[in-house]
Amino acid sequence: MTRREKTKEELIRELNQVKRKAAQLKQLESERRRVAEALHESETMFRKITERSVVGVYLIQDDVFRYVNPNMAAIFGYKVEELVDHRGPEDLVLDEDWPEVGENIRKRISGEMEAINYRFRGKKSTGEMIHIEVYGSRADYQGRPAVIGTILDITDRVESQHNIEMQLHRFQALYHIAMAMAAEHTLEENLALLVRSCRELLKTDVSLIAVSDVNLEKMLVYAQSGLRRKKLRDLPMDFLKRQGVGNTSDRPGDDAEVCFEQLKALAKKEFRNEGLLSGIAIPLRARKTAIGVLCVASRSNRDFPESERDVLCLMGNVAALEITRKQAEERLAQSENELRHLSAQLLRAQEDERKRLAQELHDGIGQSISAIKFRIESCMKQVRENSDQRTVAQLETLLPMVQNTVEEVQRIAVDLRPFIIDDLGLVATLRWFLRQFQNTYSNIRLDNRIGLEEEEVPEALKIVIFRIAQEALNNVAKHSRAKRVHVALRKRKDLIELLIKDNGVGIESDSSASPSNLGKGFGLSSMKERTELSGGMFRLDTGPGVGTSIRASWSLKTDPCYR
């Protein structure tokens, strides 16, 4: 079959078709060029963004990095080319954290999880540990699954957070110790708390505090935490002797490791038995003299950074303060006790002396004057019979003088020691004394309520109660300008109570006897002293214009200690 010649029309149609196709191709080509340009542009942009980004950017496929930005490499201490196609994520993650990180990557590759945000600990080319926060998601790269993501080095943030938490713990520990010191705890309890806090704060196996004994022969372990043995034996004093004045640096923390080594060498056996290898120790100082040691130690070899040595120094200062404070308190309590003992002895001696004097006045001088009086009377009788009226008259003038002297001696003797207290007891003596008082001071109305039986008052309290009533009523007469005074001696439950209450001018607040100044005037302070030394409680209530009341009470449950 011969090819038919194409008609002109047909040729024109084909030409048009070819022209259309050419136009389409041209359009496609410009489209392709536009797409290529756009692609290039976005790749440049992506690179610009990632290359300058402060975060690390990565792409992982087949367990190797296919892309990392310079910052990603820098964070881990590598060059980009050392990572890309050469290293994988496992090389940059701390061994302990790899199982979790590896699992997270697997989940994204497998499509179980689209995106994830978490933290892990990374490892730099130098081996140094860093904290990383990662945001990773699944992606397709060259037609196959991959993981792309960004990372941030959050080491500084984590460390400062850790520091803040640590400071907070230290502050809390110090707060608890300060509270314990303010409370009524024993030295041992407070040091035990301090030692426990040191061990927790510095994360050591053991901590202990030792203080020299009074004879400066050895250091006694006052408190310890974490030791295998219940109590460590005493430590050698040589350690403290080495911490002499020349050895006091401004920053004792600087020598803390040296101190520990010294202590370890001196107490070799003890430290070996406990398996203590590393530690720090701070000598405790009171006025530049070493009085003890605070030590923390570990059964492994570890370093103690400056901040930890500072903590131990601070704790050491607190411990030294607490020890010296408690020792001073003990000394004070001891001298207070001695003083009380002396006062009691003094009052007892005074009472004995009064008794002796009264006895002598009564039995000695009193008896002789009575004898003189008797002789004068019999002389007078004889002279009268011989009717020597002049001599009688002279002798008669002597008689009242002698009588007065007898009475005066009796009064002084009774004042010194009312004998009837030994013979008739307190109740009778008090009633007699109150009668005397009322007779002498008739301008003051005395209201007297003695509401207990003689047998109810312990023997040792009788003279004490009488003396207090005597002092208090003397004061009422001397100072109060009162119109009324109320005296009560009563028994309430297991309590004996003496009350002397006047409605006078009261004690001026600037007077030496105001409650705050109690102890300066002899009368008031001796009343208080007698009450307290006999195991009682003394109370003075007064104020200008409201009168004065003195209340002394003794519990019958406890034996009066004043003899």
Ligand X SMILES: Nc1ncnc2c1ncn2[C@@H]1O[C@H](COP(=O)(O)OP(=O)(O)OP(=O)(O)O)[C@@H](O)[C@H]1O
Under the binding rule (CB under 5 A), the answer on residue 458 touching Mg ion is no
**What does 374 interact with, of Mg ion, ligand X, none (CB < 5 to 8 A by kind)?**
none
Q: How far is the CB of 475 from ligand X (least distance, A)?
A: 3
For the bound state, the minimum distance from the C-beta of residue 520 to Mg ion, rounded and expressed in Å, comes to 12
Binding pattern for the stretch 447-476 against ligand X, x by CB under 6 A and - elsewhere: ----------------------------xx
Residue closest to 489 by CA, chosen among 507, 519, 466: 466
Q: Which of 310, 312, 286, 287 is closest to 297 using CA atoms? A: 312
Q: What is the largest CA-CA distance in the chain?
A: 216
- Residue 257 or 541: the one with the smaller Cβ distance to ligand X is 541
- 17-45 residues labelled b (16+ CB within 10 A) or e (exposed): eeeeeeeeeeeeeeeeeeeeeeeeeeeee
- Which residues are CB-neighbours of 504 under 8 A, at least 6 positions away? 476, 479, 480, 481, 482, 483, 547, 548
Q: Which does 503 bind (CB under 5 to 8 A by kind): ligand X, Mg ion, none?
A: none
Stretch that binds Mg ion, among 121-129, 355-363, 415-423, 472-480 (CB under 5 A): 472-480
Taking CB under 6 A as the rule, does residue 444 contact ligand X?
Answer: no
Provide the minimum distance between the beta carbon of 341 and ligand X in the complex, in angstroms, as a whole number.
23
Q: Which CB, 197 or 475, lies closer to Mg ion?
A: 475
Secondary structure percentages of the chain, helix, strand, coil, to 5: 55, 20, 25
Q: Binding to ligand X (CB under 6 A): which residues in 513-552?
A: 513, 521-524, 548
Among 478, 493, 557, 563, binds ligand X (CB under 6 A): 478
Burial class (CB in 10 A: 0-12, 13-18, 19+), 169: middle
Nearest to 362 by CA among 311, 407, 298, 307: 407
> According to CB under 6 A, which residues from 18 to 37 bind ligand X?
none
56 closest CA partner among 165, 171, 196, 151:
151
Nearer to ligand X, 276 or 473 (CB): 473
Q: How far apart are CA 86 and CA 501, in angstroms?
A: 102
Other beta carbons within 10 angstroms of residue 129's beta carbon come to 11
If the CB atoms of residues 50 and 514 are measured against ligand X, the closer one turns out to be 514
DSSP 355-408: HHHHHIIIIIIIHHHHHHHHHHHHHHHHHHHTT-HHHHHHHHHHHHHHHHHHHH
Minimum Å distance from CB 444 to ligand X?
11
**Which CB atom, from 139 or from 505, has the smaller least distance to ligand X?**
505
Which residues ranging from 521 to 550 are in contact with Mg ion (CB under 5 A)? 523
Tokens 């290039």 found at: 40
Q: Which of 270, 322, 502, 529 is close enough to bind ligand X by CB under 6 A?
A: 502
Which CB, 118 or 522, lies closer to ligand X? Answer: 522
- Specify the length of the chain in residues: 563
Residue 173 Rama label (left phi>0; alpha psi -120 to 50; beta): alpha
Question: How many other C-beta atoms lie within 10 A of the C-beta of residue 145?
Answer: 14
Count of positions on this chain that bind Mg ion (CB under 5 A)? 2
Query: Which one of 49-57, 226-234, 442-450, 518-526 is the stretch in contact with Mg ion (CB under 5 A)?
Result: 518-526
Q: What is the dihedral of CA 29, 30, 31, 36, to 10 degrees?
A: 90
- Residue 118 vs 522, nearer CB to Mg ion: 522
Q: State how beta strands 206-212 and 218-225 pair.
A: antiparallel
Q: Tell me if 498 contacts ligand X by CB under 6 A.
A: no
Rounded Cα gap, residues 472 and 488, in angstroms: 12
Minimum CB separation of residue 543 from ligand X in Å reads 10
Nearer to ligand X, 458 or 523 (CB): 523
- What would the two tokens of residue 254 be? 């600087």
Nearer residue to ligand X within complex by CB, 277 or 505: 505
Report d(CA 447, CA 434) in Å as an integer: 9
CB of 485 to ligand X, least distance (A): 9
CB closer to ligand X, 253 vs 506 = 506
Q: Nearer to Mg ion by C-beta: 146 or 446?
A: 446
Per partner kind, with CB cut-offs from 5 to 8 A, the member of Mg ion, ligand X, none near residue 513 is ligand X
Nearest distance in Å: CB 523, Mg ion: 3
Interface stretch with ligand X, choices 31-39, 433-441, 455-463, 499-507 (CB under 6 A): 499-507
Of these partners, ligand X, Mg ion, none, which one is at the site of residue 548 (CB under 5 to 8 Å by kind)?
ligand X
Q: Indicate which single residue of 69, 475, 503, 514 sits in contact with Mg ion (rule: CB under 5 A).
A: 475
Per DSSP, 5 falls in state P
Query: Quick one: 61 or 475, whose CB is closer to Mg ion?
Result: 475
Burial class (CB in 10 A: 0-12, 13-18, 19+), 543: middle
Minimum distance of ligand X from residue 346's CB (angstroms): 15
Give which of 432, 528, 516 is closest to 475, Cα–Cα: 528
Q: Find the part of the chain contacting Mg ion (CB under 5 A) among 167-175, 470-478, 487-495, 552-560.
A: 470-478
Which of 298/480 has CB closer to ligand X?
480
Window 483 to 512, contacts with Mg ion (CB under 5 A): none
CB of 177 to ligand X, least distance (A): 44
DSSP lists the bridge partners of residue 121 as 131
CA angle 368, 370, 375 (to 5 degrees): 95
**Under the criterion CB under 6 A, does residue 479 sit at the interface with ligand X?**
yes
Taking CB under 6 A as the rule, does residue 507 contact ligand X?
A: yes
**Binding interface with ligand X (CB under 6 A):** 475-476, 478-480, 502, 504-507, 511-513, 521-524, 548
**Binding interface with Mg ion (CB under 5 A):** 475, 523
